[in-house]
Amino acid sequence: MSLVKVTLKVMPKPEVLDSAGRAVAEVLKKNKFNLQSCRVGKSIELELEDSPNLKKDILKMAEFVLYNPLVEQIEILNEGELS
C-alpha cells in the first residue's frame, strides 16, 4: 500500500463572520496595503494509506472532528492527485 498526502483547507463559511479576518484586514488597510477583504482559515495535512474509498474516508474524518459544518467549510486541495 502506498502512502498519500492529503491537504485540507478549512475556511469560515462565507456567510459567517470571520473575526480574525476582519482584524487582519483592518491592520493591513491601516498600513496602506490595498485589499478588499481577508479571511483566515487553516490547513490540515493528513498522511494515510491509499485506498479505493480514500475520498469517502477523508470526508468521514472531516465530519468526525476536523471541521464544524455549522460555521466552517472544508475543501480537499489536492483532490485531483488522489486516485
Partner 1 sequence: MKPVGVLRFLGTNCDLDVFGALESLEASPQWLWYEDQFNPADYSGFVLPGGFSYGDYLRSGALAAKAPVMKSLEEANSKGQPILGICNGFQILCEAQMLPGALIKNKGLKFIDRFVDLKSVTQSAWGFDQKIHIPIAHGDGCYFATDDVVKSLFDNDQVWLTYEDNPNGSVKDIAGLLNKNKNVAALMPHPERAMNSWMGSRDGLVLLNQFLELR
Partner 2 sequence: MELNEKLKKYRMSRVEYQKACDLVGHELDGIEWPLFSSLWSEHCSYKSSKVHLKKFAKLPSQNVLEGFGENAGVVDLGEGERVAFKMESHNHPSFIEPVQGAATGVGGILRDIFTMNARPILLANYLCFGDVKADRMEELVQGVVKGISGYGNSVGVANVTGKTEFHKSYNENILVNALALGYYSSEKKVFTSRESLPGHWIVYVGAHTGRDGIHGASMASQSFDGDSEASRPTVQIGDPFYEKLLIESCLEVMDRNLVESIQDMGAAGLTSSSFEMASKAKVGLKIDLDQVPLRDSTMSPEDVLLSESQERMLLIIKPENYDEIVKVFKKWNLEATRIGEVLSENKVYLHWHGELLTAIDPDLLVDGAPEYDRPFVEESNSYADFKAQSLTGADYSKTLLKVLSSPQGMSKSWIYDQYDQRVGAKTAFGCEAPYGVVRLPESERFIGMALGCRPEVMRLSSSLGAMDAIFHPALQLASGGFKPVAVTDCLNYGNPEVPEVMGQFKTSVESMIEACAALEVPVISGNVSLYNETAGKSITPTPSIGMLGLQSQEMDLVQDHFQEPNNPVFLLACPQVFWNGLWAEMNNIAPQASGTLDAAKVSEFINLVYSHAHYFKSSKVVSRFGLGYHLSLMTGQCGFKSSGNFNLSFDETFYQIIVECSKETLSLSETPSKPHLMFHDFIEAGFDVALLGETTETSDMIFDDNVKFKSTELQEAHQKGWGDAFKRL
Binding site for partner 1 (CB under 8 A): 19-20, 23-24, 27, 31, 40
**Cα(33)–Cα(23) distance, integer angstroms:** 14
List the single partner that 31 binds among partner 1, partner 2, none, CB under 5 to 8 Å by kind.
partner 1
Residue 22: strand pairing partners: none
Q: Is 77 in the site for partner 2 (CB under 8 A)?
A: no
Cα(68)–Cα(70) distance, integer angstroms:
5
Query: What Rg do the C-alpha atoms of the chain give, in angstroms?
Result: 16
| Minimum CB distance to partner 2 smaller for 22 or for 60 | 22
Footprint on this chain of partner 2 (rule: CB under 8 A): 15-19, 22-23, 26, 68, 70-71
